[in-house]
């Protein structure tokens, strides 16, 4: 075996990782870029920045590891989901890409619900219309930039624009495609019914592929630009959450992934296309054939701890701040924190939700507030998990956990107690990029399927198990769940 490369087109940087036949990450290269926010609630990027960054990241990777392009057997792609990349008939970008965290499309979400029917929309796509998804962005451009929309001939997602530059092919994987709100979840491809209801031409959208399938090969110009070998297979890959799940070995039903970064995500594979009837958690295709997944998304997870640090303890290290909470008993004195600092998606799809401390007294200090933040995030994640369980997923025995928030031993224990499951960490911290490399290994023929690949390449270690506080935390969570309904009328008055 030679090597495979996984490339992650994230919101802030493009990363390329080199993985060998044992699953070891031999090296990586990264190139950063910014996000444009030309108006309040808007978030955009120039797709050319992804291509420039990918060239730099791949060349850095090859140079730093002394690897030749002819040693790379396949390339897998992943990246930020839901972005709208609009191209004309000559594959030229006609406007900046509108990103996943753009919030301009509330009216278009209402338009989609009216056109398809709210219950029918969820039944087909597995999801409600929310501003972050791709479909409302397309309707916004059509309604507000008619001259630009008239030139659009192709719609891609961010990593698939990189695919186009590498291979010359228009293609999308089924996991990322399901995040557009234009997929028929059960049939794993574009929904004729939704496209017709929204008056979107099916020719705008590329062919769809399963995550480990080959979608094209590196062209000669792309080889000159990156140092890769012309003819190297490029694998479909997956959106960043599906690829991250592959990277931590969460491909079989019964396993669950927890990602604790700025946002918090709980991800669970399913054998069929199940969904929450109210669309409060996402239901997408997984990055391997015959698998779907449920996903709950909390917008301010570790971001809540960052806010606390920046606001009341700007000179403190995150590790020290979190460790200070170890001296506070679990669910101390009825102090709660609602982590809705950026609004919320799961379990409350409410952009007007707000953060709050409830139960403060003169006896509470920074340690208690920190503990309340750590617990509040865990309770919010548990809310999402409970919705997924109610939708039909089995209860997890083991949760594969990743993300910067897991560096805190105190937080790991709180999460294990609240989620009532053992937390297991993967041996690599490369996340989605590593998952893209695993998919590439299958596409290169190293393994017959994705479960075989994860069994061989993903290594793990236990980091926390439920302890004696789990019953106390369950009682506190029951009280926490009453707070949002009580405070929502006040949030909505602002």
Q: Which residues are catalytic?
A: 240
**pTM assigned to the model:** 0.91
Domain residue ranges in the chain: 3-243
- Distances in whole angstroms, Cα of residue 451 to Cα of each of 80, 258, 399: 24, 19, 17
Q: What is the pLDDT of residue 448?
A: 97
The residues that bridge with 75 in the sheet, in sequence order, are 5, 234
What is the pLDDT at residue 263?
87
DSSP letter at 286 equals -
List of residues 6+ apart from 207 with CB closer than 8 A? 170, 171, 172
Q: Buried b / exposed e across 67-77, counting CB within 10 Å, b at 16+? A: bebeebbbbbb
pLDDT at 428: 78
Query: What would the CATH number be for the domain defined by 3-243?
Result: 3.30.420.40
Query: d(Cα 21, Cα 450) in Å, to the nearest integer?
Result: 14
Which residue in 396, 344, 186, 346 sits closest to 272, CA to CA?
A: 186
Full DSSP string of 149-170: HTT--EEE-HHHHHHHHHHS--
Residues of the chain with pLDDT under 50: none
Q: Which helix (H) or strand (E) holds 453?
A: helix 450-457
Q: How many Å apart are CA 411 and CA 425, to the nearest integer? A: 14
Radius of gyration of the chain (CA): 22
Distance CA 126, CA 119 (A): 10
Within a 10 A sphere around the Cβ of 479, how many other Cβ atoms? 14
Tokens of 48: 């050319």
Using an 8 Å Cβ cutoff, are 396 and 254 in contact?
yes
Q: Which of 184, 351, 388 is nearest to 276 (CA)?
A: 388
The Cα–Cα gap between 280 and 161 comes to 30
- According to DSSP, the residues that pair with 16 across neighbouring strands are 7, 29
215 CB contacts (<8 Å, ≥6 apart)?
A: 163, 167, 169, 171, 173, 209, 234, 235, 236
Q: How many residues does the chain have?
A: 494
pLDDT of residue 494: 60
Predicted confidence at residue 4, as pLDDT, reads 98
CA atoms within a 13 Å half-sphere pointing along the CA-CB vector of 419: 31
Query: In the structure, how many helices (H) and strands (E) does the chain have?
Result: 18, 23
Structure tokens at 137: 């962005």
Q: What's the rounded Cα separation, in Å, for the pair 351 and 340?
A: 9
239-298 per-position pLDDT tens digit: 999 999 999 999 999 899 999 988 899 999 999 999 999 888 999 999 999 999 999 999
Number of Cα atoms under 13 Å in the Cβ half of residue 397: 3
């Amino acid at each position: 075996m030679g090597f495979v490369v996984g490339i992650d087109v994230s919101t802030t940087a493009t990363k390329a990782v080199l993985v060998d036949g044992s699953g070891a990450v031999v090296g990586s290269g990264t190139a950063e870029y910014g996000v444009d926010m030309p108006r309040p609630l808007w978030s955009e990027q120039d797709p050319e920045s992804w291509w420039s960054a990918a060239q730099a990241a791949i060349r850095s990777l090859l140079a730093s590891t002394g690897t030749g392009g002819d040693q790379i057997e396949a390339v897998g792609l992943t990246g930020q989901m839901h972005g709208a990349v609009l191209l004309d008939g000559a594959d030229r970008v006609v406007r900046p890409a509108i990103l996943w965290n753009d919030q301009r499309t509330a009216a278009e979400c209402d338009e989609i619900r009216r056109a398809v029917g709210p219950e029918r929309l969820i039944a087909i796509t597995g999801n409600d219309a929310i501003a972050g998804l791709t479909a409302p962005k397309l309707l916004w451009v059509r309604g507000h930039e008619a001259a630009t929309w008239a030139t659009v001939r192709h719609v891609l997602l961010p990593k698939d624009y990189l695919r186009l530059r590498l291979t010359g092919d228009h293609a999308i994987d089924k996991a990322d495609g399901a995040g557009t709100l234009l997929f028929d979840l059960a049939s794993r491809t574009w929904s004729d019914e939704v496209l017709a209801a929204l008056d979107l031409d099916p020719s705008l959208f590329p062919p769809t592929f399963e995550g480990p399938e080959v979608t094209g090969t590196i062209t000669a110009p792309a080889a000159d630009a990156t140092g890769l070998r012309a003819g190297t297979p490029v694998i479909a890959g997956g959106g960043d959450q599906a690829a991250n799940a592959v990277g931590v070995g969460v491909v079989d039903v019964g396993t669950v992934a927890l990602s604790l970064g700025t946002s918090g995500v709980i991800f669970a594979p399913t054998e069929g296309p199940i969904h929450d009837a109210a669309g409060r958690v996402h239901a997408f295709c997984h990055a391997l054939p015959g698998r779907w997944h449920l996903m709950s998304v909390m917008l301010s997870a570790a971001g809540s701890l960052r806010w606390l640090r920046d606001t009341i303890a700007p000179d403190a290290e995150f590790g020290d701040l979190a460790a200070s909470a170890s001296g506070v008993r679990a669910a101390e004195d009825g102090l709660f924190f609602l982590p809705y600092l950026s609004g919320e998606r799961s379990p409350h799809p409410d952009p007007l939700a707000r953060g709050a401390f409830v139960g403060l007294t003169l006896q509470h200090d920074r340690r208690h507030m920190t503990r309340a933040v750590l617990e509040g995030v865990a309770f919010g994640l548990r809310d999402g998990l409970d919705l997924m369980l109610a939708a039909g997923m089995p209860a997890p025995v083991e949760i594969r956990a990743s993300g910067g928030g897991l560096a805190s031993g105190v937080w790991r224990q709180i999460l294990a107690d609240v989620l009532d499951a053992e937390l297991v960490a993967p041996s690599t911290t490369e996340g989605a990029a590593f998952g893209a490399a695993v998919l590439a290994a299958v596409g290169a023929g190293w393994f017959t399927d994705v479960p075989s690949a994860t069994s061989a390449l993903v290594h793990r270690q236990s980091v926390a198990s439920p302890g004696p506080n789990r019953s106390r935390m369950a009682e506190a969570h029951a009280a926490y769940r009453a707070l949002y309904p009580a405070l929502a009328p006040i949030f909505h008055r602002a």
